[in-house]
Every structure is written in structure tokens, then in C-alpha cells.
Amino acid sequence: MIGVDLGSNTIRAVEIDCKTKSRVKEYQKVVGLAKGLKRGEDIKDESKELLFGALEEIVESFDFTSENYRCITTEAMRIARNSAEILKEIKDRFGLDFEIIDGKEEARYTLIGVREALGLNSDFCMFDLGGASTEISYMIDGRFETKSFPFGILNTASKYKDNLQEGITKEVKTIEKFTKDKKVSKLIATAGTPTTVCAYLQGMDYKSYNYKEINGKSLHVNDYIRAYEEILNLSLSEQERYCGIRRSDLIKVGILMVVEIMNVLGFEESVVSDDGLREGLALSLCKEEVYDG
């Protein structure tokens, strides 16, 4: 089964073997759909070109004619004026139907991927920091509750260029009302920033990244701070070695946001999951449960 997640910054695809629930192949590339994007505006031509280039690679690598698949897209396409036009062009050129899903459904499928990867069977909180939105989710006594917030790495970095930390604090503070009085003992962090930090602290660069060495690792908030300070002092070429091309500035912003999110949620440690939305999509095609909330 194949799951394709066209996020606000990165497109990610995976093929899952339903018998073993393991990855057969995977793909990801930064396309930056939310770069400079405001609600009701068009996704930029540069981002479209990067996206179409990535889709050419995906359709060459994955067999969509033999495998069941689902393709979804999230916040950038939710708010862009030209999303319908782009999705039609994708269908015409590549034969792939992308569905725009809301934040609640996004979190449900992410939960499937994370629970399978980490073997979770107790209460927890999970956050998924994206390019243009952030989902905060809770599993408490078997009940799933989630809320999507319209801030992410790309739109926060763009909106608060001159006062970044102040802007991050302001945006993240909006989660307080939803998280108030929810008590759990475990925090799960998924998405590109925590996985990149986890890899960096283990000495893995972007090319040698191995998700099997990421899933289930715990990071203290001080680990994020240390990684930020070290990456900040690397040369640009070294930053891109560890963070990926066109990702280093975003990872640095993402780390500041992760630290603020953890502080507001009241956690000093987080368990990292590389598996998330794309894996949940593929696993759901293997007759997985989609949680009601």
C-alpha cells in the first residue's frame, strides 16, 4: 500500500508491506508550498515547479497501477487560492488524485503511523509541527482528541522575520486553552524538526539518515537547545549536510518552536517518531482503524 503526504513544506511517500507493516520504499523532498503563502493567495510558481519535479520522481519510483494508494494534502492547499487548479494539473499530468483533508483527519492518520511505530498502549500527548499548521493530539482513556492550529515553521518564519522568538511565543501560546487540564505522562514528537535533531545528535547526516535509529528515541528539551546552538555555529555547507538542502534555516526555526511547544505543554522530554501521516495513510489501507474524536 502507498501513502503520499503532500505537506506544506515537504512531500513524503511510502510503500508499506501489509503483512510485516514495514517500509518497502520511501521518498521525501522539500517543495515549500507554504513559502510566502498567505490565506487566499496563490502557491508560488517556484514551489509548483519543485512539486511537479518531485512527483515525476515519485511516479517513476512507485507502482501506483499495482498498489492501492491514497494521496492527501494539508494546510497549504487548504488556504491557497489556486489549490484546485494545481490538484487538477497533478491529476492530468501524473494521474494521481490528491484529497485535501482537514487537521482532525490529518492527526488521526498521523496517530495510526505513530502508534504502530512506537507500540503505544498508554495515554499520551502528540504534536506534529508542520510547515503551515501544528496538530496537538491527546489519547486519554482510549479517547482521541485533537486540534489543528494555523501556525507552522514556514508561515511563522515569514510572519515574524524581525521578531522571531516573540512571534513563536505568541503563536504557541494559542494552544494553552486546548491543552489546559489534560494530564498525561508521555509526549510524542513527530515531523521533520525532531527527527532531524535526533539524527544530528547521533551523528547522522541527511544522506545517512536511518529512521530505525530514530523511532522511540527520547530527547530532553536541553537536547534541542544544544542542537540549535551547535547547528547555528556550523558553516552553511555543514548545516545542509545535517539538515538537508534548503532545510537548515527552517530546522533552526523549528527547534525554537519545538522548545516553546514543550514548555507550554509542560514536558521536559519527548519521544521521537519518524513514522507519521504518510505511514498512517498506507497502514489505513491495510485495514487499520481510524480513530474517532
The pTM of the full predicted model, rounded to 2 decimals, is 0.88
pLDDT reported for residue 35? 87
Co-location of 63 and 156 in the same domain = no
pLDDT score recorded for residue 293: 43
Q: Cβ contacts of residue 202 below 8 Å, gap of 6+?
A: 213, 217
Instruction: Clarify whether residues 7 and 72 are in a common domain.
Output: yes
If one counts the domains in the chain, the total is: 2
Do 22 and 86 fall within a single domain?
A: yes
Q: Are residues 60 and 163 in the same domain?
A: no
In-domain check, residue 192: yes
- pLDDT tens digits for range 258-276: 999 999 999 999 999 999 9
The owner of cell 545542509 is 240
In a domain, 284, yes or no: no
288 part of a folded domain? no
CATH number, domain at 226? 3.30.420.150
State residue 16's pLDDT score: 94
Task: Tell how strand 269-273 and strand 143-149 pair up.
Answer: unpaired
186 lies in a domain? yes
Q: What is the CATH number of the domain that holds 39?
A: 3.30.420.40
For helices 248-265 and 164-172, the axis angle rounded to 10 degrees is 40
The verdict on residue 144 lying in a domain is: yes
For cell 500500500, the residue is: 1
Measure the CA–CA gap between 193 and 156, rounded to whole angstroms: 14
What is the per-residue pLDDT across 58-93, written as a single tens digit (0 to 9) for each?
A: 999 999 998 899 999 999 999 999 999 999 999 999
- 136-to-153, 174, 184, 222 alpha-carbon distances in Å: 15, 11, 13, 21
Task: Say whether pLDDT at 233 is over 70.
Answer: yes
* Domain match, 127 and 270 both: yes
Q: What is the mean pLDDT of residues 148-160?
A: 94
Model confidence pLDDT, tens digit, residues 103-153? 899 999 999 999 999 998 889 999 999 999 999 999 999 899 999 999 999
Residue 94, domain extent: 2-103
82 lies in the same domain as 154: no
Q: Are residues 148 and 81 in the same domain?
A: no
Instruction: Report whether pLDDT(287) > 80.
Output: no
Q: Are residues 137 and 91 in the same domain?
A: no
Question: Is 112 within a domain?
Answer: no
Q: What's at 125, amino acid-wise? A: C
CB distance 40 to 165 below 8 Å: no
The partner residues of 145 in beta bridges, in order of sequence, read 138
CB contact set of 293 (below 8 Å; sequence gap of 6+): 104, 107, 108, 143, 144, 145, 146
